[in-house]
Amino acid sequence: MATLDSHATYRPRGLGVSVGQGVLIALALLCVAGLLLLPLLVVFAEAFGKGWAVFVAAIADPDARTAVWLTLTVAAIAVPANMVFGLAAAWLMTHYDFRGKQLLGALIDLPFSVSPVVAGLVCVLVYGVNGWFGGWLDAHGVRVIFAVPGLVLATVFVAFPFVARELIPLMQTLGNEEEHAARTLGASGWQIFFRVTLPKVRWALLYGVLLSNARSMGEFGAVSVVSGHLPGLTNTLPLQVDQVYNGGSASAIAAAFALASLLALLTLLTLLIKRLVEWRHGGELAHPVRRH
Amino acid sequence: MSISINGLTRRYGSFSALERVSLDVAEGEFVALLGPSGSGKSTLLRILAGLDDPDQGSVLRDGEDLLALDARQRRVGLVFQHYALFAHMTVTENVAFGLRVRPRAQRPSRREILARVDELLRRVQLEGLARRYPAQLSGGQRQRVALARALAVEPSLLLLDEPFGALDAQVRVTLRGWLRELQRSLGLTTLLVTHDQDEALELADRVVVMNQGRIEQIGTPSEIYREPATPFVYGFIGRSNHIEGYVERDRLLLGGHAIRGELPPDLGGQRVNVWLRPEHAVLSSRSDIGWTARIVRLAQAGGVIRATLAMHGEGVQMEAEWTAGEVTARGLAEGDTVTVQLRELTLFTEVGGGQRRDVFRPFRDGMSPASGGAIDMGPWLHRKA
């Protein structure tokens, strides 16, 4: 049985770890623990550190409740808007050839590369009282900056690319033969979109929407510039956390963490749904990362 | 319904995909568009389906302007090479799609739709697979679903774009016979695009050979094979030999050999392109009548033996096809010397941009070695030497 024995040396060695690999893995784990996991735990630990009563009081505070409500409202407007924009942009980028297509592609990515603070400032410069349209808007009694419309505008801007960036590679891979087939079968443009295109990309769309939502609810920089920090009026949850924390007292810090834990929870929920989508429909999501 | 295509031209930048293409298709006719890739056959199909627009030309369906209609109103069934089935719909939903998207006033009832889908699935022999998704079907099954889906809207014209291109050889041949039967029984005017000449010749009533955006020849399968109108068609359809020759009064000079026969007098003194089918290079019964050649290679090809011959003289190579019986009876092997007679040669001469075509049938005893001064005097032979 010498031949059989010799096979033993070919047994898979995937589990054997060399010293170099071990160091790298340890380093990665340390980074994940120190930079990601620990802060998350600290948020929850601090939130409940002063007891349940402080936590409830922090959440029940009218300003805090307004902030939660405002965050959800802004997300409820910005996310559907970005979904429609993203779908339209992806459709345009993959179904038509036109002059300036490259430029449009670059513009879609712009919010990724521009600092959110700059984005907020741009909003102020354009829609602020002394901005381009600000005077006209003010004259008609419309307040954009230091009001909810401004928050929505800034949020739409920073969360814009997620849906389009998720859809474009997938739609490019799938091509449009099915759409052509639908057309020759007599379907109208809307029928093609709702019955053929949308079902094809639904999971990628949901994935993009979730990412866009996470960004919308967590955005600080751009929103901070346009908000004006009016507690109970224009403070979203991230801004409220910041403001309460800067209040300074020990109970204020606990309250800030309580609110932060709420924000973290929202984000974790989004991530959980995202993981679930990935797990169930991973094959239908075309990731740029996976393609290159 | 009959289709009349007139002067259709489509250019992409400087590339001309279709160049003044005209074609009439009779009601119930099965026409195959055959050509190499880039010959414009798919472009023609896409224009008929309404997925592309021509730069010039017109298409009439029973006298009605087809190009004026949007793709969705044309009632033209298109079957794609890669099926283009809706992946998220079952077979039934795929087939029913064209009926379900109709405006309410024209839409059949739910029950009628399902009845029609059932009937179509029976027609394409997919009864048991109604609830499957395309991903759960084989290539041949998918293509039949695509066909049923196209037929569901009762098209007046069926367009098939390389429908069997993605299938393996056996399935392809089976589906071919089946498709012919189906088309006949429906009496549906059908255009098939293919680069597979067997498919075109076997399926179609008429074959349109296309090359570089132009129609080279339109004819029945046997006309296309037996009387190719241009050198391109001769070379593209079936197997062929191409040799340059020179006409000298009543003789054709070919690779150092003279062949006597009746030649049109006005071809005298001209260079000609000589084309010959392998089956027209037959083994001579007498070694002194014909053109001697050495057998370079013998290969079994289906029912025939394919021989590569090095002809005596200037070393022209030629392909011949003989029956296995002949080869065995004569005990032929590679390296042997044989004598062949050429039975039917097609001579193409360039005349003012076009191609003049003559068929040349040599006298049975008209083939002799090209010896002596007379032959070497031909200007073309001199040039070659």
A249: pLDDT strictly greater than 80: no
Measured CA to CA, the distance from residue B31 to residue B203 in angstroms comes to 8
Q: What is the pLDDT of residue B114?
A: 94
**Beta bridge partner(s), residue B349:** B356
Identity of the highest mean pLDDT range in A142-146, A228-232, A273-277, B309-313: B309-313
Band (B371; pLDDT cuts 50, 70, 90): very low
| Per-residue pLDDT tens over the stretch B2-19 | 899 999 999 988 888 999
> pLDDT-derived band of residue A43, with 50, 70 and 90 as boundaries?
confident
**Residue of A182, A188, A200 with shortest CB distance to B97:** A182
Q: Is the pLDDT of residue B39 over 50?
A: yes
- The distance of B127 to chain A (nearest Cα, Å) reads 22
Task: Using alpha carbons, select from B191, B203, B199, B129 the residue that is nearest to residue B164.
Answer: B199
Determine the average pLDDT of the residues in A7-25. 70
Q: What is the pLDDT of residues B224-280, one digit of tens each?
A: 999 999 999 999 998 999 999 999 888 899 888 888 888 888 888 889 999 999 999
Contact A180 B51 (CB under 8 A): yes
Q: Does the structure show a pLDDT above 70 at B369?
A: no
Taking the C-alpha atoms of residue B31 and residue B40, their distance in angstroms, rounded to an integer, is 15
Å between B6 CA and nearest CA of chain A = 22
Q: Answer for the pair B81, B45: CB distance below 8 angstroms, yes or no.
A: no
Mean pLDDT rounded to a whole number for chain A: 83
Q: Two tokens at B306?
A: 């394919």
* Residue A2: pLDDT over 50: no
Cβ contacts (< 8 Å) between B88 and chain A: which residues? 199-200
The three state secondary structure string of chain A is CHHHHHHHHHCCCCCCCCHHHHHHHHHHHHHHHHHHHHHHHHHHHHHHHCCHHHHHHHHHCHHHHHHHHHHHHHHHHHHHHHHHHHHHHHHHHHHCCCCCHHHHHHHHHHHHHCCHHHHHHHHHHHHCCCCCCHHHHHHCCCCCCCCHHHHHHHHHHHCCHHHHHHHHHHHHHHCCHHHHHHHHCCCCHHHHHHHHHHHHHHHHHHHHHHHHHHHHHHCCHHHHHHHCCCCCCCCCHHHHHHHHHHCCCHHHHHHHHHHHHHHHHHHHHHHHHHHHHHHHHHHHCCCHHHHC
Instruction: For B146, name the nearest residue in chain A, comparing CA atoms only.
Output: A181
A&B contacts, CB < 8 Å: 66
pLDDT > 70? residue B377: no
Dihedral of CA A228/A232/A238/A241: which sign?
positive
Predicted local confidence at residue B362, as pLDDT: 87
CATH topology assigned to domain B3-235: Rossmann fold (3.40.50)
Domain parsing of chain A, residue ranges: 1-49, 50-291
On whether the pTM is more than 0.90, the answer is no
Alpha-carbon distance values, A22 to A18, A31, A49, B61 (Å): 6, 14, 36, 74
- Yes or no, beta carbons of B84 and A183 under 8 Å apart: no
User: What is the pLDDT of chain B when averaged over all its residues?
Assistant: 88
Contacts of B51 in chain A (CB under 8 A): 180, 183-184
Q: Quick check: A184 and B84 CB within 8 A?
A: no
Provide the token pair at B313: 């003289």
Asked if residue A140 has pLDDT above 90, the reply is no
Whether residue B361 has pLDDT greater than 50: yes
Out of A183, A191, A196, the one facing B71 most closely (by C-beta) is A183
What is residue A289's predicted lDDT score, i.e. its pLDDT? 36
Indicate the DSSP class of residue B134: G
- Name the fold adopted by A50-291: MetI-like fold (1.10.3720)
pLDDT for residue B383: 40
In this prediction, residues A254-273 reach a mean pLDDT of 85
- Which of A116-130, B148-162, B254-268 ranks highest by mean pLDDT? B148-162
Residues 6+ apart with CB under 8 A from B229: B216, B217, B219, B355, B357
